[in-house]
Chains A and B, each alone.
Chain A
């Protein structure tokens, strides 16, 4: 099963490597990993999307906790959370298809960020499934390039 794990780490060189090499050394998958600063400059948040059965996820969380640079590990999968991904996609276009592509972009509440005679680049954010759906709809026009940020996620506030 797919899990979204949020990991707070000390913002030190090597911390990302410690985490990613733990995954590779123990044979765990990383579907995506994203990392950035948090409200505290010396703390970074990694959002890791991984797959595995209950036993593997349990080990992943324990092994992450074992790393000295790791401050906190939260499995967000079964919690109330917000998960978002950023997509930058460059699509081939011609006179006739340009407006169709803009329509699709608008439906996904995206933005056109670059345009040439034969390509358009779009910026779309949303939950990973929405990103998948957008790519699926843009596929017929011909895709030149895709850049996905990987999922970033956080818990929703308690009410």
Chain B
């Protein structure tokens, strides 16, 4: 620039050269003072698309949606201070759900760090407990290598968010650009291959049990090819499969061996099966409290095999008999090689069938009232499991998990660990930037929809054909449900009916086409219209019944076998 003949590159240019080497095609960002040199350089770049968001939190969730849909790392670029602190929720979310994102934050010049300078925040200090790792780049000479490390750490082992903090003077200083093809860190060596003896023992254990159950989580979704190996194992030996929230899509939901989701709002039969099984094969799952319920009574009689890439999940919540640390695809593949036998699980499957008949997933139909479950049911039928569904957090999220029949990994994208309301709108936009051949459907409640509503403008500007469904029951439904069940029906600050905006008008004002449906008869029609509309985003508001509850439900801290399976008798309630 400006006739500079140095063979060295400016930090800002090194930044983009490094991103090119990493194959980055999209950046979700928002400019500011500390990133001015980077944005100055970005102005002339054409092979990397910068998506201008409306709020930095939106950028992080978009990066998450992008990463979850594609398996490629999501990239965020924001300025220092408030720009950086606005990313915190998204980073924490990515940390809890192991999503590979790399967040670049501008920082005040190194000479001002620690000075309480304008727009200074110690983002490395702030994000230390919620990142897989983070870096402050103090010298432009370290910039390229740090970016290499950041992508390597974010995407390998158990993936997670990495923050790279770049002071303004670093992006404006010069250094030679050198970028290693591969990298090895002496302090970080993820284990990908399970111990052969342990895998052999797992095969033995499977041979010697009669009531096996596969309990699979996000690790199977994330590990490329793991779901095929899982399918092979389950179908060859007729082992039923239950999935965690993040595991949905790892095994086809419409398969007869699928028990759907387990845990707090899992199916009756999945929770029965996990309580009663004699062999529990956990794959890429972490025995989260929403899954186990009360630990003392969780799957008490089973021999437990735990396959996970993160050694710290082993024995963390539940003591297991046979841990196998490594990548789920590799381990399942190796395990399948030992499966030269069959087992008879017919009695076990018969028992499960009885549970399925005893308490199937169902909802009230035929009373003319519009229920969320019906909307999800129709959506599932119309899209045949071929869409990417991005629910927000709350009742509708659980209903999606229960009633949408997912077929493939990476088609169900949601905030599980952190439970971030406001995740869906931006995450769906991010997913739609990554995947063009499948419809992307965001589903939010009326509460969560408003939490990152500003990103509708982003979707409209880029003409991203996301379908934004709003399940409007006029309540923070899940909190309301707990208030009804456990807090003396004191509906404290959960009623939004009189304070919600007109969602159709607000969408239209942001440049998004909008539809509304308030009865059973229009559901199919509006969903079809939304699926057929591809010129840009579209909002569909469903006005559903106000006081439905999600069942089955395992009350917090209770045993999974003590689930509430239907609505309590109103007379019995205080």
Contact = CB atoms under 8 A, between A and B. Distances in A.
B315 A68 contact: no
Interface string A49-93: 000000100110011011011110000000000000000000000
A133 B186 CA distance: 42
A55 B188 CA distance: 24
A18 B187 contact: no
A68 B187 contact: yes
A69 B311 contact: no
A101 to B, nearest CB: 44
Interface string B519-538: 00000000000000000000
B132 A55 contact: no
Contacts of A58: 315
Given A68-B133, A68-B153, A71-B187, A62 B128 contact: no
B311 A62 contact: yes
Size band of the interface chain A makes with B = 10 to 19
A145 to B, nearest CB: 31
B312 A59 contact: yes
A63 B132 CA distance: 12
A119 to B, nearest CB: 37
A25 B188 contact: no
Contacts of B1: none
B125 interface: yes
A55 B310 contact: no
A68 B132 contact: yes
Nearest to A22: B129
Interface residues of B, number: 18
Contacts of B574: none
A10 B187 CA distance: 8
Nearest to A68: B133
Interface string B122-160: 001100110011001000000000000000010000000
Given A68-B132, A71-B186, A14 B311 contact: no
A55 B314 CA distance: 11
Contacts of B183: none
B505 to A, nearest CB: 44
A17 B128 contact: yes
B185 interface: yes
Contacts of A65: 311-312
A83 to B, nearest CB: 25
B128 A14 contact: yes
A14 B124 contact: yes
A21 B129 contact: yes
B125 A17 contact: yes
B129 A25 contact: yes
B315 A55 contact: yes
Contacts of B185: 68
B503 to A, nearest CB: 38
Contacts of A70: 187
Nearest to A72: B187
A63 B312 contact: yes
Interface string B21-41: 000000000000000000000
Contacts of B316: 59, 62
A55 B310 CA distance: 16
A55 B295 CA distance: 14
Interface string A1-27: 000000000100110011001100100
A65 B187 CA distance: 9
B170 to A, nearest CB: 16
B113 to A, nearest CB: 11
A18 B188 contact: no
A73 to B, nearest CB: 11
Contacts of A21: 128-129
A69 B133 CA distance: 9
B312 A62 contact: yes
Contacts of A17: 125, 128
Nearest to A60: B312
A59 B124 CA distance: 24
A128 to B, nearest CB: 29
B187 A66 contact: no
A66 B315 CA distance: 15
Given A14-B124, A17-B128, A68-B188, 4 more contacts: A10-B187, A14-B128, A63-B312, A66-B311
18 contacts: A14-B128, A17-B128, A18-B128, A21-B128, A22-B129, A58-B315, A62-B314, A63-B312, A66-B312, A68-B132, A68-B133, A68-B153, A68-B187, A68-B188, A69-B187, A70-B187, A71-B186, A71-B187
